[in-house]
Structure 1
Amino acid sequence: MDEKKRIAIIFENSYERPFKLINGILSLPGLRDKCAFRSFPLYQVQKDDVFTDEWQPDGILAMVSEEDNDPNGWIQHLDVPVVNLIHTRRHLHPSIAADYSSVVDAAMDHFGAIECEEILYAGTKGGPLLGLIDKLFRTRAEKKGIRYHMLEFPEQLDASDAADLESIVPGLREVLENATGKIGIYSTHDRRGRVINDYVIKQGYSVPNQVAILGCFDSVDAKLCDPPLSSIMLQDKEQGSTAMEMLYRLITGQELEERNAVMPVLGVRVRGSTVGDEANDIEVLRARNLIRERAAEGVTVDQIVDELNVSRSTFEKRFSALTGRSPAQEIRKVRLELAKEHLLTTDLPLTQIAPKVGFMDRRAFMVFFKREAGMTPGAFRDAHR
């Protein structure tokens, strides 16, 4: 048996998204038979102490900015393959990152659906994505005729900073006081979004009626916020598994189909910080939960509407406005996600997978999968293994 490939994972450890990525990395079938892993905290390792003579990696999965002032810039000089899991300007390493164009599109669509008249982007001061995301928001806001602002926030904020946030971020009070209508705030981190939420409420603004706040990563901070924070959902599991596939190809001398790939977001997890308690919006939230719980049973839009006891036309219109998809599209999306997971993580034949995603007939499942994924289930399984 060949010796296992040694994989170093160099991620942040101060929030939970890296652990979601690791779950994706480890989800690949048979990976443990091929690879051995060690994890190193991004901001605590130094060039001279990270690896030992006894343990040198065959490949590295990292989250590094690739800027000249990056303390982990030494990684780029190592003579081993590296795959980066964040977007960078320089593209020094092969990478798979979130598609920030789709992040901004999702945020703008959501703010438009809840009738925000102004947008504030709460960016990370000095962050490598600050200019990119600012430009994307500014361009889209100009096209829609929406007043736009950008303010830079420190990387690290915690709950105690809410009391002094206007001194930490000069200009924040002015933006809020001069807003001529409902303002939507997008934060690149849920924790920052939670601090902004606490500050806004202390200043006497109503969330979400006057200020709607949207975070990113769908983390614990989003769920524990009061009101709960709506959040952009990234494809962490698929991003992690794709990164591992890319790295293994590099280690074994294979070509990459795409050196710097991006992955679109899943959409917005709608919560109280942007929709409040409006009856129709709450029904949308209930419907999304029902779809995720029962898509594998073959649930239909008619069944959802009957259970919620709402007007189908009103429900479909509001669902599409808040999620960017129709209820039928949401059902197909969830079923496809479940099908892909079964194909990638099990060796079950299609006759057994089909009923697990709501199809009693194998042929109907194959037609559905090819239409939605662009390839047959068998081809998908082969391509991703």
Structure 2
Amino acid sequence: MTTTQRPRHVGILVETDDSWGRNVVEAVCRFGHSSGWTVLISPRDAQGRLRLPKVWNGDGIIASLRTTSSVRHVKNLQLPVVDVGIMVPKCDWFARVATDDAARGEMAFEHLRDRGLTHFACYAPPIGRYSDVRSMAFADAVTAGGYQCAMYEATGDDTAGWLTNYSNVRRWLSTLPRPLGIFAADPYPARQLVEICSADSIRIPDEVAVLSGDDDELLCNVASPRISAVELASHRIGETAAQMLAKMMNGDATAKPETLIPPLQVRGRHSTDILAMADDEIADVLRYIRDRAPDGITVADLLKAFPISRRRLEQRFRAELNRSPAEEIRRVRMAHVGRLLLDSDKTVTTIAAESGFATSASLSQAFRQHFGTTPGDYRRRNHAT
């Protein structure tokens, strides 16, 4: 007589109040459905905390561990666990798949620096949604780039409740030089910054450019102005976590590593739409590149459009951006291709034609050199559907 093995029961302890959490949960469920899992999504106890009920007979857990009490709850269940956050120290009894904060910090700094900004700050009030690692990674990237980063120092007023004390933030902003690029840890503090600047008639992005460390379709798009954000590979995090949990539930004792996944891109919106450069002509060249790079322009096209020698153009680009005009054209062009792969269902052949490449093969070769993977694999691992 044969017996049918019951489906795996997997608990998902991830908040779904933002785009990141919903994307992670969606990717886990997609993998789970294809693997025959039964999933329990974001169950709560009588106090509103994410908790698995005592009657639940589970096989594994995917959780965003944020507090010592949540760690204790999950550990006591003695099941395979994969953490998809980075709020608590890594322990041997669980695996982790999370965003590479160092890569996030570098990407955020490069986005702000590419806009000609030379003054930087970080706003990450302690609201329990992220660890200090996120803000320190941005500060480290700024320091490595040869600049200073002003850090917002929380006070007792800030930690007393969820919302930050607006008076403290206003005072902090008044002490900082402008134009200023501010990295906000996630969409919630980013939205607060935009609201405070609006109340105090601080112009965004001309005086203060705001970049969120995570994207949220609602909060970042309904803000005025709309907020630029680092777009995380949240679907890939969820899929990778599910794959890792499957191995652990099958008895793979080695499947407890820490896997860090870099962000996808910065999704630029109006809050960082600035070119704050002393060299007005180079700012004009950059605008030209950002408008025309997808058409397949070359440095020769720049020299035709602007009355400047190649050598002088190279020198001034190095001084402003620490890269050559050709490197800037390639960077903008590849960013355009990456957005099309993630935001549309267009074929690689169509994207190649719309991005100035003669063939899909030439696009694939350039894409692999820039991103380290093929266009198809990039889309498959990061696309929402």
TM-score in terms of structure 2 length = 0.71
**Residues 25, 282 of structure 1: alpha-carbon distance in 2 compared, 3 angstrom cutoff:** farther
**d(CA) in 2 for partners of 1:377 and 1:117?**
34
**d(CA) in 2 for partners of 1:340 and 1:115?**
27
Is 2:105–2:139's contact at 8 Å kept on the other side of the alignment? no
**Residues 336, 247 of structure 1: alpha-carbon distance in 2 compared, 3 angstrom cutoff:** farther
**d(CA) in 1 for partners of 2:188 and 2:29?**
26
2:247 is matched with which residue: 240, 246, 249? 249
One-letter code aligned to 2:150: Y
Is 1:207–1:276's contact at 8 Å kept on the other side of the alignment? no
1:301-334 Cα shifts (integer Å, max 9, x gaps): 57xx99xxx87x99xx79x96xx98454565577
Is 1:336–1:372's contact at 8 Å kept on the other side of the alignment? no
For residue 206 of structure 1, report the CA deviation from its aligned partner.
Answer: 1.3
**d(CA) in 1 for partners of 2:200 and 2:376?**
56
In structure 1, the residue matched to 2:215 is 218
Counting only pairs closer than 5 Å after superposition, residues 1-385 of structure 1 correspond to structure 2 as: 2-28=5-31, 31-41=33-43, 44-45=48-49, 50-53=52-55, 55-65=56-66, 67-68=67-68, 70-71=69-70, 73-92=72-91, 93-125=94-126, 127=128, 129-143=130-144, 144-152=146-154, 156-157=162-163, 165-166=166-167, 170=168, 172-219=169-216, 220-256=218-254, 259-276=257-274, 300=296, 326-329=328-331, 355=349, 358=352
Q: Which moved more, 1:354-363 or 1:36-45?
A: 354-363
One-letter code aligned to 2:16: N
Is 2:43–2:50's contact at 8 Å kept on the other side of the alignment? no
**d(CA) in 2 for partners of 1:117 and 1:371?**
30
**Residues 335, 111 of structure 1: alpha-carbon distance in 2 compared, 3 angstrom cutoff:** closer
Is 1:122–1:186's contact at 8 Å kept on the other side of the alignment? yes
For residue 246 of structure 1, report the CA deviation from its aligned partner.
Answer: 0.7
**d(CA) in 2 for partners of 1:233 and 1:249?**
28
In structure 1, the residue matched to 2:279 is none
1:33-72 Cα shifts (integer Å, max 9, x gaps): 421211125672465xx3353x41211111112x43x345
**d(CA) in 1 for partners of 2:332 and 2:254?**
31
Aligned residues: 345
Is 1:118–1:147's contact at 8 Å kept on the other side of the alignment? yes
Is 1:233–1:268's contact at 8 Å kept on the other side of the alignment? yes
1:9-33 Cα shifts (integer Å, max 9, x gaps): 11113323211112222444x8434
Unmatched tracts of structure 2, length 5 or more: 277-282
**Residues 232, 40 of structure 1: alpha-carbon distance in 2 compared, 3 angstrom cutoff:** same
**Residues 377, 134 of structure 1: alpha-carbon distance in 2 compared, 3 angstrom cutoff:** closer
Q: Which moved more, 1:261-270 or 1:273-282?
A: 273-282
**d(CA) in 2 for partners of 1:361 and 1:147?**
44
One-letter code aligned to 2:200: Q
Is 1:12–1:41's contact at 8 Å kept on the other side of the alignment? no
SS class of match (1:207): coil
In structure 1, the residue matched to 2:280 is none
One-letter code aligned to 2:73: W
For residue 77 of structure 1, report the CA deviation from its aligned partner.
Answer: 1.8
One-letter code aligned to 2:8: K
For residue 371 of structure 1, report the CA deviation from its aligned partner.
Answer: 5.8
**d(CA) in 2 for partners of 1:60 and 1:193?**
31
**d(CA) in 1 for partners of 2:186 and 2:116?**
23
SS class of match (2:153): strand
Q: CA RMSD in A?
A: 4.6
Is 1:119–1:149's contact at 8 Å kept on the other side of the alignment? no
Is 1:301–1:328's contact at 8 Å kept on the other side of the alignment? no
One-letter code aligned to 2:82: V
For residue 4 of structure 1, report the CA deviation from its aligned partner.
Answer: 1.6
TM-score in terms of structure 1 length = 0.71
One-letter code aligned to 2:11: A
